[in-house]
Amino acid sequence: MIVLRIVSAFLMTVVAAGPSAAQDRRLPTSPAELRLSYAPIVQRAQPAVVNVYAGKTVQNRNPLLDDPIFRRFFGVPGQQPEQMQRSLGSGVMVDPSGLVVTNNHVIEGADQVKISLADKREFEAEIVLKDSRTDLAVLRIKDAREKFITLDFANSDELQVGDVVLAMGNPFGVGQTVTHGIVSALARTKVGITDYQFFIQTDAAINPGNSGGALVDMAGRLVGINTAIFSRSGGSQGIGFAIPANMVRVVVASAKSGGKAVKRPWLGAKLQAVTPEIAETLGLKLPNGALVANVAPNSPAARAGLRLSDLIVAVEGQTIEDPNAFDYRFATRQLGGTAQIDVQRAGRIVRLTVPLETAPDTNRDEIVLTARSPFQGAKVANISPAVADELNLDSQIEGVVVVDLAEGGTAASVGFQKGDVILAVNNQKIGKTSDLDRVSKATSRLWRIVVVRGGQQINVTLGG
């Protein structure tokens, strides 16, 4: 299966949406009804659909400069010319003050961002919040002096397979375009694009240029943000994926509250999928649910009474088929309240009340390592419950984790990845970021590094 984020080096697109309440569903009763038009919905939604222009300045470096013989005989020229890489995506106006939601990959690494409205006016924009876990970002128009037309959020949980939806955007840069189709499937969890996999699938034509676009229902409301397509050719093959509006709403709410990161409820338990073999062992008819593999001490899960080997089967009455479905259902609950979780334990259903609170984020102590070493250019942090939750790490693991990598830095070039946990360097235990900072400043011809990646311990030896 090939899943592509619907972005090209030059293009990306957006779509629009509106209010919330279940759609009326009925079959046409006459030939006249078959000639009904979507035009009123499009006219209402179009002003809230924008283009997002992102620019990134890069050094136009000649690869021959990496050859020492070339440098020796031809010399090293002075400052290389800079080049501006540009991409085009789309966004949806979600607040009259000028807040726009789009895909994170549309603006990732951008030095400058512009918003173009449907009436061709352009505005400078700033990035308010980026959330790589959902592939969403929120922008704000700078120095806004007017109230902008917006789209309202639908309750995406009310969508049904077969509902008619519209996709609005700028595919291939041809100009604002509307396509229509149906909701082909719901709760797609095996797409592999973001941490929160719970996508709306649609056959409305979505192509490169539609990234950050919106999926609109027949009431003109935003039901999803288009983010990827299944394609073997790079073009639309009738399988597109959108982030549900209920998740988009959470990210936008965090941006409105002034946060630089999205605040979500923290369970404090590690979950695993139920395989057919596990289902047979548990005496289940179907391999559904999320199996509790670990519970962190003093976490909301522990205080609610969740136990090892409990099988989570529902959240607030909504069936849970796998851990991805649980993550989505739990993450879209409002902080400050509680969630009712049904678990199967010893052959019976037990209902637990879990407090909805954020993970503790104490002593993160993020630093960027600059000393000449294999770690140069890596941003690292101590592992707090919040960091472990953000990077999907075992909450019990100790060490220092890579949270970001500078493009072109040594750490990125030698193969470190975001989420790598550094346990030891040259036989010295790494317990906090200051330990790694100190070790990285030492002169060494060989670097023996112990790393945990994806739950597996790796021993690495690098030359100095």
Spell out the long-range contacts of 275-283 with Cβ–Cβ below 8 A and sequence spacing 24 or more: 282/311, 282/344, 283/347
Query: Shortest CA distance to 420 belongs to which of 384, 457, 385?
Result: 457
List 20, 87, 90, 105, catalytic entry: 105
Contact predicate 329/316, CB 8 Å:
yes
List 131, 135, 203, 420, catalytic entry: 135
Is 135 among the catalytic positions?
yes
Contact predicate 379/367, CB 8 Å:
yes
Question: Cα(first)–Cα(last) distance of the chain, in Å?
Answer: 40
**Interhelix angle for 323-331 vs 245-256, to 10°?**
40
Q: What are the C-alpha distances in Å from 165 to residues 136, 159, 436?
A: 21, 10, 51
The owner of tokens 């996709």 is 167
Is 211 among the catalytic positions?
yes
Using DSSP's 3-state secondary structure scheme, residue 41 falls into: helix
Query: Shortest CA distance to 148 belongs to which of 115, 105, 170, 179?
Result: 115
Is 105 among the catalytic positions?
yes
Q: How far is CA 176 from the centre of its chain?
A: 25
List 211, 231, 299, 440, catalytic entry: 211
Q: Kindly list the catalytic residues.
A: 105, 135, 211
